[in-house]
A and B are shown apart, each in its own frame.
Chain A
């Protein structure tokens, strides 16, 4: 299973965090405490939880209206900020849900510096499929 430490190895990774669907932050890692702190991560987690929920609503609606599948379940939501980006995913939870598990892993997120951000690598890590225990 992808861990926060794996995410911190991504190019430009500033921080990585785990959060609940409600936005509450659980574990986190910070590479540069002078540039990003726990308080910012906590706010980011809440913001990203909201955006993932809305993106899921949009994907459901879009697939229903257009018949064009391939958006749901949302794998990641990414906000490309002015200097930094944040990528969040709840895909591992989907894998647990599909395996019939009731206890689900948390959502995961990583903050990347825009100049070295590799979105595909971030998506690849967050989408890594591993057997559900």
Chain B
């Protein structure tokens, strides 16, 4: 089973997908239109690129910062949370799902993904 299928089976997960670090393609499943999933994948990729660069800048200025390479990031809104680890994104309904479970699962499932493709 793919990680996207696993994620969709988790409570509160509305949509999940993967995007290419090069930005040329994405795939997703769940309750999002094709266009909105494209917008989401562009945003997720941009933020992933930014945090990776920021972490490398931080590392250059302050070695052993413990943040490099970043595994992912979360944006927590009042109703929804965006959770991204490596090149996988996931949209969670805050009322129905557990962020800790989701982050734990994604970090474990994607631990072996190399970050040098970013």
Report A's interface with B, CB cutoff 8 A. 35-36, 39-40, 43-44, 47, 50-51, 54-55, 58-59, 61-62, 65-66, 68-84, 86, 114, 117-120, 123
Q: Are B76 and A76 in contact (CB under 8 A)?
A: yes
Query: Are A79 and B80 CB-contacts (below 8 A) given A43-B61, A62-B43?
Result: no
Number of interface residues of B (CB under 8 A): 36
Q: Are A74 and B77 in contact (CB under 8 A)?
A: yes
Task: Note all chain B residues with C-beta closer than 8 A to A58.
Answer: 43, 47, 75
Interface of B is mostly: mixed
Q: Is B99 an interface residue (CB 8 A)?
A: yes
Report B's interface with A, CB cutoff 8 A. 36, 39-40, 43, 47, 50-51, 54-55, 58, 61-62, 65-80, 82, 85, 94, 98-100, 103, 107
Task: Note all chain A residues with C-beta closer than 8 A to B40.
Answer: 62
Task: Note all chain B residues with C-beta closer than 8 A to A69.
Answer: 79
25 pairs from A and B in contact (CB 8 Å cutoff): A40-B65, A43-B62, A47-B54, A51-B54, A59-B75, A62-B43, A65-B39, A70-B78, A70-B80, A70-B94, A71-B75, A71-B77, A72-B77, A74-B77, A75-B78, A78-B76, A79-B73, A80-B73, A80-B103, A81-B66, A82-B68, A114-B71, A119-B74, A119-B100, A119-B103
